[in-house]
Chains A and B, each alone.
Chain A
Protein backbone atom coordinates (compact mmCIF):
# COMPACT_ATOMS: atom_id res chain seq x y z
CA UNK A 1 0.00 0.00 0.00
CA UNK A 2 1.45 3.36 -0.92
CA UNK A 3 2.13 5.95 1.76
CA UNK A 4 -0.10 8.51 0.16
CA UNK A 5 -3.46 8.17 -1.48
CA UNK A 6 -4.17 10.18 -4.56
CA UNK A 7 -6.06 13.35 -3.76
CA UNK A 8 -9.19 11.85 -5.30
CA UNK A 9 -9.03 8.77 -3.08
CA UNK A 10 -8.39 10.91 -0.03
CA UNK A 11 -11.36 13.12 -0.82
CA UNK A 12 -13.52 10.05 -1.42
CA UNK A 13 -12.54 8.55 1.93
CA UNK A 14 -13.30 11.84 3.66
CA UNK A 15 -16.79 11.92 2.14
CA UNK A 16 -17.39 8.28 3.13
CA UNK A 17 -16.23 8.89 6.70
CA UNK A 18 -18.32 12.04 7.08
CA UNK A 19 -21.41 10.33 5.68
CA UNK A 20 -20.83 7.42 8.04
CA UNK A 21 -20.63 9.74 11.03
CA UNK A 22 -23.79 11.51 9.90
CA UNK A 23 -25.67 8.25 9.50
CA UNK A 24 -24.42 6.93 12.84
CA UNK A 25 -25.49 10.11 14.60
CA UNK A 26 -28.94 9.94 13.04
CA UNK A 27 -29.45 6.37 14.17
CA UNK A 28 -27.88 6.79 17.60
CA UNK A 29 -29.93 9.83 18.55
CA UNK A 30 -33.08 7.87 17.91
CA UNK A 31 -31.65 4.83 19.67
CA UNK A 32 -30.69 6.90 22.68
CA UNK A 33 -34.16 8.43 22.91
CA UNK A 34 -35.84 5.05 22.69
CA UNK A 35 -33.41 3.36 25.11
CA UNK A 36 -33.72 6.18 27.63
CA UNK A 37 -37.50 6.08 27.30
CA UNK A 38 -37.60 2.34 27.98
CA UNK A 39 -35.30 2.68 30.98
CA UNK A 40 -37.53 5.42 32.38
CA UNK A 41 -40.74 3.49 31.61
CA UNK A 42 -41.76 5.84 28.80
CA UNK A 43 -42.15 5.07 25.10
CA UNK A 44 -40.11 7.87 23.49
CA UNK A 45 -40.79 9.30 20.01
CA UNK A 46 -43.34 7.12 18.18
CA UNK A 47 -45.36 9.49 16.02
CA UNK A 48 -42.99 10.43 13.17
CA UNK A 49 -42.94 7.55 10.69
CA UNK A 50 -43.37 3.89 11.62
CA UNK A 51 -42.33 3.41 15.29
CA UNK A 52 -40.91 6.95 15.28
CA UNK A 53 -38.12 5.92 12.94
CA UNK A 54 -38.18 9.21 11.05
CA UNK A 55 -37.94 11.38 14.17
CA UNK A 56 -34.24 12.24 13.79
CA UNK A 57 -34.66 12.89 10.07
CA UNK A 58 -37.28 15.47 10.96
CA UNK A 59 -34.96 16.88 13.63
CA UNK A 60 -32.15 17.22 11.09
CA UNK A 61 -34.38 19.12 8.68
CA UNK A 62 -35.37 21.42 11.54
CA UNK A 63 -31.73 21.99 12.50
CA UNK A 64 -30.58 22.69 8.96
CA UNK A 65 -33.19 25.33 8.23
CA UNK A 66 -32.74 27.15 11.54
CA UNK A 67 -31.38 30.66 11.58
CA UNK A 68 -27.65 30.89 12.20
CA UNK A 69 -27.35 32.96 15.35
CA UNK A 70 -24.13 34.41 16.64
CA UNK A 71 -23.95 36.37 19.92
CA UNK A 72 -22.99 40.00 19.35
CA UNK A 73 -19.80 39.88 21.39
CA UNK A 74 -18.63 36.46 20.22
CA UNK A 75 -15.27 36.26 18.49
CA UNK A 76 -16.29 35.75 14.85
CA UNK A 77 -13.36 33.54 13.78
CA UNK A 78 -13.10 31.34 16.86
CA UNK A 79 -16.89 30.97 17.05
CA UNK A 80 -16.92 29.40 13.57
CA UNK A 81 -13.72 27.42 14.07
CA UNK A 82 -14.83 25.77 17.32
CA UNK A 83 -17.55 23.41 15.98
CA UNK A 84 -15.42 22.47 12.97
CA UNK A 85 -12.39 21.57 15.06
CA UNK A 86 -14.65 19.53 17.32
CA UNK A 87 -16.29 17.52 14.53
CA UNK A 88 -13.29 16.87 12.28
CA UNK A 89 -11.29 14.66 14.70
CA UNK A 90 -14.38 12.52 15.31
CA UNK A 91 -14.63 11.92 11.57
CA UNK A 92 -10.88 11.35 11.27
CA UNK A 93 -10.86 8.59 13.89
CA UNK A 94 -13.08 6.47 11.60
CA UNK A 95 -10.19 6.12 9.18
CA UNK A 96 -8.45 3.42 11.23
CA UNK A 97 -11.48 1.40 12.43
CA UNK A 98 -11.13 -2.13 10.97
CA UNK A 99 -14.76 -3.11 10.36
CA UNK A 100 -13.69 -6.24 8.54
CA UNK A 101 -11.54 -7.38 5.64
CA UNK A 102 -12.69 -5.07 2.85
CA UNK A 103 -13.87 -2.26 5.09
CA UNK A 104 -10.67 -0.88 6.57
CA UNK A 105 -10.07 2.56 5.18
CA UNK A 106 -6.42 2.64 6.18
CA UNK A 107 -4.47 -0.01 8.10
CA UNK A 108 -1.88 2.36 9.52
CA UNK A 109 1.16 0.83 11.18
CA UNK A 110 0.50 3.11 14.12
CA UNK A 111 -3.30 2.84 14.02
CA UNK A 112 -3.69 2.56 17.79
CA UNK A 113 -1.58 5.61 18.61
CA UNK A 114 -3.46 7.44 15.87
CA UNK A 115 -6.74 6.59 17.51
CA UNK A 116 -5.52 7.88 20.87
CA UNK A 117 -4.00 11.01 19.36
CA UNK A 118 -6.57 12.31 16.90
CA UNK A 119 -9.59 12.70 19.23
CA UNK A 120 -7.29 14.79 21.44
CA UNK A 121 -7.59 17.56 18.86
CA UNK A 122 -11.27 17.86 19.81
CA UNK A 123 -10.26 19.68 22.99
CA UNK A 124 -8.92 22.62 20.98
CA UNK A 125 -12.34 22.96 19.35
CA UNK A 126 -14.22 22.75 22.66
CA UNK A 127 -11.99 25.34 24.29
CA UNK A 128 -12.33 27.69 21.32
CA UNK A 129 -16.10 27.27 21.19
CA UNK A 130 -16.45 27.93 24.92
CA UNK A 131 -14.15 30.91 24.87
CA UNK A 132 -15.51 32.45 21.66
CA UNK A 133 -19.12 32.43 22.87
CA UNK A 134 -18.26 35.14 25.39
CA UNK A 135 -20.59 33.65 27.94
CA UNK A 136 -19.76 32.33 31.39
CA UNK A 137 -21.64 29.05 31.02
CA UNK A 138 -19.96 28.25 27.72
CA UNK A 139 -16.58 29.28 29.04
CA UNK A 140 -16.85 27.13 32.17
CA UNK A 141 -18.13 24.22 30.09
CA UNK A 142 -15.20 24.50 27.70
CA UNK A 143 -12.65 24.64 30.52
CA UNK A 144 -14.26 21.76 32.38
CA UNK A 145 -14.45 19.49 29.37
CA UNK A 146 -10.84 20.05 28.43
CA UNK A 147 -9.63 19.56 32.01
CA UNK A 148 -11.62 16.34 32.13
CA UNK A 149 -10.38 15.17 28.76
CA UNK A 150 -6.73 15.72 29.63
CA UNK A 151 -7.06 14.00 33.01
CA UNK A 152 -8.82 10.90 31.73
CA UNK A 153 -6.60 10.59 28.68
CA UNK A 154 -3.66 9.42 30.83
CA UNK A 155 -5.25 6.34 32.51
CA UNK A 156 -6.98 5.52 29.24
CA UNK A 157 -3.71 5.52 27.32
CA UNK A 158 -2.05 3.43 30.04
CA UNK A 159 -4.86 0.87 29.78
CA UNK A 160 -4.35 0.67 26.01
CA UNK A 161 -0.59 0.28 26.50
CA UNK A 162 -1.15 -3.10 28.20
CA UNK A 163 -3.04 -4.25 25.09
CA UNK A 164 -0.23 -3.06 22.84
CA UNK A 165 2.34 -4.86 25.02
CA UNK A 166 0.42 -8.10 24.78
CA UNK A 167 -0.16 -7.86 21.02
CA UNK A 168 3.31 -6.53 20.23
CA UNK A 169 1.98 -4.29 17.48
CA UNK A 170 0.40 -0.88 16.95
CA UNK A 171 -1.38 -2.01 13.80
CA UNK A 172 -5.13 -2.50 14.18
CA UNK A 173 -5.19 -5.49 11.83
CA UNK A 174 -2.34 -7.29 13.68
CA UNK A 175 -4.22 -6.72 16.90
CA UNK A 176 -7.21 -8.65 15.57
CA UNK A 177 -4.97 -11.57 14.55
CA UNK A 178 -3.40 -11.61 18.01
CA UNK A 179 -6.88 -11.99 19.53
CA UNK A 180 -7.83 -14.99 17.36
CA UNK A 181 -7.45 -17.57 20.15
CA UNK A 182 -8.86 -15.53 23.03
CA UNK A 183 -10.14 -11.93 23.19
CA UNK A 184 -8.18 -9.61 25.49
CA UNK A 185 -11.13 -8.93 27.78
CA UNK A 186 -10.34 -12.34 29.30
CA UNK A 187 -6.62 -11.66 29.68
CA UNK A 188 -6.81 -7.98 30.65
CA UNK A 189 -10.09 -7.44 32.52
CA UNK A 190 -8.75 -4.54 34.60
CA UNK A 191 -7.57 -2.68 31.50
CA UNK A 192 -11.01 -3.20 29.99
CA UNK A 193 -12.78 -1.69 32.99
CA UNK A 194 -10.41 1.29 33.09
CA UNK A 195 -10.80 1.79 29.34
CA UNK A 196 -14.60 1.75 29.50
CA UNK A 197 -14.85 4.09 32.49
CA UNK A 198 -12.34 6.63 31.17
CA UNK A 199 -13.96 6.48 27.74
CA UNK A 200 -17.28 7.52 29.26
CA UNK A 201 -15.46 10.56 30.64
CA UNK A 202 -13.78 11.30 27.32
CA UNK A 203 -16.99 11.36 25.36
CA UNK A 204 -18.60 13.52 28.07
CA UNK A 205 -21.37 11.17 29.05
CA UNK A 206 -23.12 10.70 32.36
CA UNK A 207 -21.82 9.98 35.00
CA UNK A 208 -19.02 12.17 33.67
CA UNK A 209 -20.97 14.86 31.81
CA UNK A 210 -19.97 17.73 34.09
CA UNK A 211 -18.96 19.93 31.10
CA UNK A 212 -22.55 20.16 29.94
CA UNK A 213 -24.37 19.51 33.20
CA UNK A 214 -27.77 21.05 32.43
CA UNK A 215 -28.49 21.80 36.05
CA UNK A 216 -25.38 23.96 36.43
CA UNK A 217 -24.21 25.17 33.04
CA UNK A 218 -27.30 25.24 30.77
CA UNK A 219 -25.52 23.28 28.01
CA UNK A 220 -21.82 23.92 28.59
CA UNK A 221 -19.63 24.88 25.66
CA UNK A 222 -22.44 24.74 23.10
CA UNK A 223 -24.89 26.95 25.02
CA UNK A 224 -24.72 29.74 22.43
CA UNK A 225 -24.83 27.54 19.36
CA UNK A 226 -27.84 26.66 17.26
CA UNK A 227 -28.76 25.16 13.90
CA UNK A 228 -26.02 23.60 11.85
CA UNK A 229 -23.12 24.59 14.08
CA UNK A 230 -24.86 23.00 17.04
CA UNK A 231 -25.47 19.84 15.04
CA UNK A 232 -21.72 19.66 14.37
CA UNK A 233 -21.22 19.25 18.13
CA UNK A 234 -23.79 16.49 18.07
CA UNK A 235 -22.03 14.79 15.16
CA UNK A 236 -18.79 14.99 17.11
CA UNK A 237 -20.36 13.54 20.24
CA UNK A 238 -22.02 10.54 18.64
CA UNK A 239 -19.20 10.00 16.15
CA UNK A 240 -16.74 9.86 19.06
CA UNK A 241 -19.12 7.58 20.96
CA UNK A 242 -19.20 5.05 18.16
CA UNK A 243 -15.48 5.33 17.48
CA UNK A 244 -14.76 4.67 21.16
CA UNK A 245 -17.11 1.68 21.19
CA UNK A 246 -15.51 0.35 18.01
CA UNK A 247 -12.11 0.63 19.64
CA UNK A 248 -13.30 -1.16 22.75
CA UNK A 249 -14.42 -3.93 20.38
CA UNK A 250 -11.08 -3.91 18.62
CA UNK A 251 -8.88 -3.74 21.72
CA UNK A 252 -10.70 -6.11 24.05
CA UNK A 253 -13.53 -8.00 22.34
CA UNK A 254 -11.64 -9.50 19.42
CA UNK A 255 -13.09 -7.16 16.76
CA UNK A 256 -14.58 -9.05 13.82
CA UNK A 257 -13.38 -12.47 15.02
CA UNK A 258 -16.25 -14.92 15.35
CA UNK A 259 -17.70 -18.05 13.82
CA UNK A 260 -19.97 -18.44 10.76
CA UNK A 261 -21.02 -14.83 10.15
CA UNK A 262 -18.76 -12.44 8.20
CA UNK A 263 -16.36 -10.24 10.20
CA UNK A 264 -18.30 -7.04 9.46
CA UNK A 265 -21.41 -8.40 11.13
CA UNK A 266 -19.48 -9.49 14.22
CA UNK A 267 -17.65 -6.19 14.46
CA UNK A 268 -20.72 -3.99 14.11
CA UNK A 269 -22.74 -6.26 16.39
CA UNK A 270 -20.16 -6.21 19.19
CA UNK A 271 -19.63 -2.47 18.92
CA UNK A 272 -23.38 -1.83 19.05
CA UNK A 273 -23.53 -3.84 22.26
CA UNK A 274 -20.81 -1.59 23.70
CA UNK A 275 -22.77 1.49 22.57
CA UNK A 276 -25.85 0.09 24.29
CA UNK A 277 -23.83 -0.37 27.51
CA UNK A 278 -22.75 3.28 27.30
CA UNK A 279 -26.39 4.37 26.93
CA UNK A 280 -27.52 2.05 29.70
CA UNK A 281 -24.94 3.56 32.08
CA UNK A 282 -25.95 7.06 31.07
CA UNK A 283 -29.59 6.61 31.93
CA UNK A 284 -28.98 4.64 35.13
CA UNK A 285 -26.32 6.55 37.07
CA UNK A 286 -26.42 10.08 38.52
CA UNK A 287 -23.73 12.59 37.64
CA UNK A 288 -20.52 13.26 39.58
CA UNK A 289 -19.57 16.66 40.96
CA UNK A 290 -16.68 18.45 39.23
CA UNK A 291 -14.23 17.94 42.11
CA UNK A 292 -15.22 14.28 42.57
CA UNK A 293 -14.58 13.80 38.88
CA UNK A 294 -11.04 15.14 39.05
CA UNK A 295 -10.27 13.26 42.27
CA UNK A 296 -11.48 10.04 40.67
CA UNK A 297 -9.20 10.55 37.67
CA UNK A 298 -6.01 11.42 39.54
CA UNK A 299 -6.40 9.42 42.76
CA UNK A 300 -8.16 6.28 41.56
CA UNK A 301 -7.83 5.70 37.83
CA UNK A 302 -4.25 6.92 37.41
CA UNK A 303 -2.69 4.80 40.23
CA UNK A 304 -4.88 1.83 39.29
CA UNK A 305 -3.78 1.98 35.66
CA UNK A 306 -0.10 2.33 36.63
CA UNK A 307 -0.29 -0.70 38.94
CA UNK A 308 -2.16 -2.58 36.23
CA UNK A 309 0.54 -1.74 33.69
CA UNK A 310 3.41 -2.88 35.93
CA UNK A 311 1.59 -6.07 36.94
CA UNK A 312 0.77 -6.88 33.32
CA UNK A 313 4.42 -6.38 32.36
CA UNK A 314 5.60 -8.71 35.13
CA UNK A 315 3.06 -11.40 34.27
CA UNK A 316 3.98 -11.20 30.59
CA UNK A 317 7.67 -11.57 31.45
CA UNK A 318 7.01 -14.50 33.76
CA UNK A 319 4.77 -16.29 31.27
CA UNK A 320 6.99 -15.45 28.33
CA UNK A 321 10.22 -16.84 29.84
Chain B
Protein backbone atom coordinates (compact mmCIF):
# COMPACT_ATOMS: atom_id res chain seq x y z
CA UNK B 1 0.00 0.00 0.00
CA UNK B 2 1.49 3.33 -1.03
CA UNK B 3 1.23 6.67 0.75
CA UNK B 4 -1.33 7.62 -1.87
CA UNK B 5 -3.58 4.68 -0.88
CA UNK B 6 -3.28 5.54 2.81
CA UNK B 7 -4.23 9.15 2.12
CA UNK B 8 -7.11 8.02 -0.06
CA UNK B 9 -8.52 5.97 2.82
CA UNK B 10 -7.96 8.79 5.33
CA UNK B 11 -9.79 11.30 3.11
CA UNK B 12 -12.56 8.75 2.55
CA UNK B 13 -13.06 8.24 6.27
CA UNK B 14 -13.07 12.01 6.88
CA UNK B 15 -15.58 12.52 4.07
CA UNK B 16 -17.89 9.79 5.35
CA UNK B 17 -17.67 11.00 8.95
CA UNK B 18 -18.39 14.61 7.97
CA UNK B 19 -21.29 13.58 5.76
CA UNK B 20 -22.84 11.51 8.55
CA UNK B 21 -22.35 14.27 11.12
CA UNK B 22 -23.80 16.82 8.72
CA UNK B 23 -26.96 14.78 8.32
CA UNK B 24 -27.34 13.76 11.95
CA UNK B 25 -26.65 17.01 13.78
CA UNK B 26 -29.60 19.17 14.73
CA UNK B 27 -27.66 22.41 14.46
CA UNK B 28 -27.95 23.91 10.99
CA UNK B 29 -24.67 25.82 11.20
CA UNK B 30 -22.71 22.73 12.18
CA UNK B 31 -24.21 20.72 9.39
CA UNK B 32 -23.19 23.36 6.84
CA UNK B 33 -19.63 23.42 8.20
CA UNK B 34 -19.58 19.61 8.08
CA UNK B 35 -20.74 19.83 4.46
CA UNK B 36 -17.80 22.14 3.73
CA UNK B 37 -15.36 19.70 5.35
CA UNK B 38 -16.94 16.83 3.41
CA UNK B 39 -16.55 18.68 0.10
CA UNK B 40 -12.91 19.51 0.91
CA UNK B 41 -12.18 15.85 1.68
CA UNK B 42 -13.81 14.84 -1.61
CA UNK B 43 -11.58 17.38 -3.37
CA UNK B 44 -8.64 15.56 -1.80
CA UNK B 45 -9.92 12.28 -3.24
CA UNK B 46 -10.19 13.86 -6.70
CA UNK B 47 -6.62 15.08 -6.44
CA UNK B 48 -5.37 11.63 -5.49
CA UNK B 49 -7.23 10.23 -8.50
CA UNK B 50 -5.17 12.53 -10.79
CA UNK B 51 -8.14 14.83 -11.44
CA UNK B 52 -6.35 17.89 -10.10
CA UNK B 53 -8.48 20.39 -12.02
CA UNK B 54 -11.71 18.89 -10.72
CA UNK B 55 -10.26 18.92 -7.20
CA UNK B 56 -9.44 22.62 -7.34
CA UNK B 57 -12.74 23.55 -8.98
CA UNK B 58 -14.51 21.55 -6.29
CA UNK B 59 -12.98 23.84 -3.67
CA UNK B 60 -13.50 26.96 -5.80
CA UNK B 61 -17.18 26.39 -6.53
CA UNK B 62 -18.45 24.31 -3.64
CA UNK B 63 -16.44 25.40 -0.60
CA UNK B 64 -15.80 28.99 -1.72
CA UNK B 65 -19.21 29.43 -3.33
CA UNK B 66 -22.00 27.11 -2.32
CA UNK B 67 -21.05 26.65 1.35
CA UNK B 68 -20.51 30.39 1.75
CA UNK B 69 -23.90 31.08 0.17
CA UNK B 70 -25.55 28.59 2.52
CA UNK B 71 -23.89 30.22 5.54
CA UNK B 72 -24.99 33.59 4.24
CA UNK B 73 -28.57 32.47 3.78
CA UNK B 74 -28.57 30.92 7.25
CA UNK B 75 -27.21 34.02 8.91
CA UNK B 76 -29.56 36.41 7.13
CA UNK B 77 -32.66 34.33 7.78
CA UNK B 78 -34.55 33.90 11.01
CA UNK B 79 -33.58 30.25 11.33
CA UNK B 80 -30.06 31.44 12.09
CA UNK B 81 -30.98 31.27 15.77
CA UNK B 82 -28.80 29.01 17.79
CA UNK B 83 -31.48 26.49 18.73
CA UNK B 84 -31.33 22.91 17.47
CA UNK B 85 -33.85 22.07 14.77
CA UNK B 86 -36.93 20.09 15.66
CA UNK B 87 -37.10 16.62 14.15
CA UNK B 88 -39.02 16.31 10.90
CA UNK B 89 -42.27 14.35 10.65
CA UNK B 90 -41.31 13.19 7.16
CA UNK B 91 -38.43 11.06 8.34
CA UNK B 92 -39.82 7.83 6.89
CA UNK B 93 -40.21 9.20 3.39
CA UNK B 94 -36.82 10.93 3.57
CA UNK B 95 -34.92 7.85 4.66
CA UNK B 96 -36.73 5.75 2.04
CA UNK B 97 -35.61 8.19 -0.67
CA UNK B 98 -32.07 8.21 0.73
CA UNK B 99 -31.91 4.40 0.68
CA UNK B 100 -33.20 4.24 -2.89
CA UNK B 101 -30.71 6.89 -4.04
CA UNK B 102 -27.84 5.25 -2.14
CA UNK B 103 -28.77 1.87 -3.62
CA UNK B 104 -28.72 3.33 -7.13
CA UNK B 105 -25.27 4.86 -6.58
CA UNK B 106 -23.85 1.61 -5.18
CA UNK B 107 -25.44 -0.39 -8.01
CA UNK B 108 -24.07 1.94 -10.67
CA UNK B 109 -20.59 1.99 -9.10
CA UNK B 110 -20.31 -1.76 -8.64
CA UNK B 111 -21.90 -2.60 -11.99
CA UNK B 112 -19.79 -0.35 -14.20
CA UNK B 113 -16.58 -1.71 -15.65
CA UNK B 114 -14.27 1.30 -15.88
CA UNK B 115 -11.30 1.19 -18.28
CA UNK B 116 -7.97 0.83 -16.51
CA UNK B 117 -5.18 3.15 -17.66
CA UNK B 118 -1.68 1.96 -16.74
CA UNK B 119 0.84 4.51 -15.44
CA UNK B 120 0.26 8.21 -14.86
CA UNK B 121 -2.64 9.98 -16.49
CA UNK B 122 -1.83 13.02 -18.64
CA UNK B 123 -3.03 16.45 -17.52
CA UNK B 124 -6.81 16.50 -17.45
CA UNK B 125 -7.45 20.19 -18.25
CA UNK B 126 -7.13 20.08 -22.09
CA UNK B 127 -9.37 16.99 -22.30
CA UNK B 128 -11.98 18.56 -20.06
CA UNK B 129 -11.89 21.79 -22.05
CA UNK B 130 -12.29 20.03 -25.40
CA UNK B 131 -15.06 17.82 -24.09
CA UNK B 132 -17.01 20.73 -22.58
CA UNK B 133 -16.80 22.90 -25.70
CA UNK B 134 -16.84 19.98 -28.14
CA UNK B 135 -18.91 16.83 -27.70
CA UNK B 136 -20.71 17.99 -24.55
CA UNK B 137 -21.30 21.55 -25.66
CA UNK B 138 -25.09 21.13 -25.73
CA UNK B 139 -25.27 20.00 -22.09
CA UNK B 140 -22.83 22.77 -21.16
CA UNK B 141 -24.99 25.47 -22.77
CA UNK B 142 -28.22 24.05 -21.34
CA UNK B 143 -26.68 24.22 -17.86
CA UNK B 144 -25.80 27.85 -18.51
CA UNK B 145 -29.39 28.64 -19.51
CA UNK B 146 -30.76 26.85 -16.43
CA UNK B 147 -28.45 28.83 -14.14
CA UNK B 148 -29.43 32.08 -15.84
CA UNK B 149 -33.11 31.21 -15.40
CA UNK B 150 -32.45 30.53 -11.71
CA UNK B 151 -30.79 33.93 -11.28
CA UNK B 152 -33.63 35.74 -13.05
CA UNK B 153 -36.20 33.83 -11.00
CA UNK B 154 -34.43 34.70 -7.76
CA UNK B 155 -34.39 38.37 -8.74
CA UNK B 156 -38.09 38.23 -9.64
CA UNK B 157 -38.90 36.68 -6.24
CA UNK B 158 -37.01 39.38 -4.38
CA UNK B 159 -38.64 42.10 -6.46
CA UNK B 160 -42.20 40.90 -5.95
CA UNK B 161 -41.65 40.79 -2.20
CA UNK B 162 -40.56 44.40 -2.20
CA UNK B 163 -43.53 45.73 -4.18
Choose the segment among B64-72, B91-99, B134-142, B144-152 that binds chain A (4+ C-beta atoms closer than 8 Å).
B64-72
Q: Which B30-72 residues sit within 8 Å CB-CB of chain A?
A: 30, 33, 36, 40, 47-48, 50, 52-53, 56-57, 59-60, 63-65, 67-68, 71-72
> Shortest CB–CB separation between residue B58 and chain A, in angstroms?
8
| A100, CB-defined interface residue at 8 Å | no
Bound complex: CA A153 to CA B65 (Å): 10
A54–B7 alpha-carbon span in the complex (Å): 42
In the complex, which of the residues A6, A109, A146, A170 contacts B68, with contact meaning CB atoms closer than 8 Å? A146
A7 to B6, CA, bound (A): 10
Chain A residue with Cβ nearest B6: A7
- A114 contacts partner chain B, Cβ-Cβ < 8 Å: yes
Q: Which residues of the other chain, A, contact B7 by a CB distance below 8 angstroms? A: 4, 7
Q: Which residues of A contact B56 (CB under 8 A)?
A: 108, 110, 113-114, 117
Contact A113 B60 (CB under 8 A): yes
Mostly, the B contact residues are helix
Q: Decide if B16 is an interface residue (CB 8 Å cutoff).
A: no
At the interface, yes or no: A233 with Cβ under 8 Å from chain B? no
Q: Which of these binds chain B: A124-132, A191-199, A253-261?
A: A124-132
Query: Size band of the A side of the interface?
Result: 20 to 34
**A43 in the interface, Cβ–Cβ < 8 Å?**
no
> How far is it, in angstroms, between the C-alpha of A113 and the C-alpha of B71 when the chains are bound?
23
Interface size class of B (residues with CB under 8 A): 20 to 34
Which of A13-21, A73-81, A275-283 is the interface stretch? A73-81
Q: Please, how many angstroms separate the alpha-carbon atoms of A133 and B2 in the complex?
A: 43
Interface presence of A116 (CB below 8 A): yes
Closest to A150 in B: B68
User: Which residues in chain A, 61-93, are within 8 Å of chain B measured between CB atoms?
Assistant: 75, 77-78, 81
Is A250 located at the chain interface by the 8 A CB criterion?
Answer: no
Asked if B106 lies at the interface with its beta carbon under 8 angstroms from chain A, I say no
**Taking CB as reference atom, which chain B residue is nearest A118?**
B59
Q: Are B3 and A143 in contact, with the CB atoms below 8 A?
A: no
The proximity string for A residues 197-212 relative to B, scoring 1 for CB distances below 8 Å and 0 otherwise, is: 0000000000000000
A139 at the interface (CB under 8 A from B): yes
Which residues on B sit within 8 Å (CB–CB) of A120?
59-60, 63-65, 68
Within 8 A of A (CB), among B79-134: 80, 82, 120, 123, 125
Bound complex: CA of A109 vs CA of B50, how far in Å? 11
- Is A121 in the interface zone, CB < 8 Å from B? yes
Shortest CB distance A145–B (Å): 11
- Asked whether, in the complex, the Cβ of B123 is within 8 Å of the Cβ of A131, the reply is no
Interface residue A35 (Cβ < 8 Å from any Cβ of B): no
- The answer for the CA separation of A113 and B64 in the assembled complex, in Å, is 12
B47 A3 Cβ-Cβ under 8 A:
yes
A123 within 8 A of B: yes
Asked if A116 meets B67 with Cβ closer than 8 Å, knowing A110-B53, A127-B75, the reply is no
A4 touches B48 (CB 8 A): yes
A146 neighbours in B (Cβ, 8 Å): 68, 71-72
Q: Distance (Å) between the CB of A117 and the closest chain B CB? A: 4
CA distance A116 to B61 in the complex (A): 11
- Whether the pair A113, B53 counts as a contact (CB closer than 8 A) is yes
Q: Is B29 an interface residue (CB 8 A)?
A: yes
| A131-B72 CB under 8 A given contacts A4-B3, A170-B125 | no
Which residues on the B side are within 8 Å of A114 (C-beta)? Answer: 56
The chain B residue sitting closest to A75, CB to CB, is: B82
Q: Are A117's CB and B50's CB within 8 A?
A: no
CA distance A109 to B57 in the complex (A): 13
- Determine whether the beta carbon of B72 is less than 8 Å from that of A127: yes
Q: How far is the CB of A67 from chain B (nearest CB, A)?
A: 25
Of A110, A114, A120, most buried by chain B (CB within 10 Å of CB) is: A110
**Of the candidates A5, A113, A124, which one forms a contact with B36 in the assembled complex, judged by CB atoms under 8 Å apart?**
A124
Which residues of chain A come closer than 8 Å to B50, judged between CB atoms?
A: 3
Q: CA–CA, A315 to B96, complex, Å?
A: 56
Report the minimum CB–CB distance from A96 to chain B (whole Å): 10
Within 8 A of B (CB), among A128-173: 128, 131, 139, 142-143, 146-147, 150, 153, 170
Asked if B125 and A109 sit within 8 Å, CB to CB, the answer is yes
B82 touches A143 (CB 8 A): no
Instruction: Select from chain A the residue with minimum beta-carbon distance to B72.
Output: A146
Q: Which 7 A-B pairs have the closest CB atoms?
A: A120-B64, A117-B60, A4-B4, A117-B59, A113-B56, A127-B71, A123-B68
Report 12 cross-chain contacts, Cβ distance below 8 Å, ordered by A residue. A4-B3, A5-B3, A110-B125, A117-B59, A117-B60, A120-B59, A120-B60, A121-B59, A124-B36, A124-B67, A142-B75, A150-B68
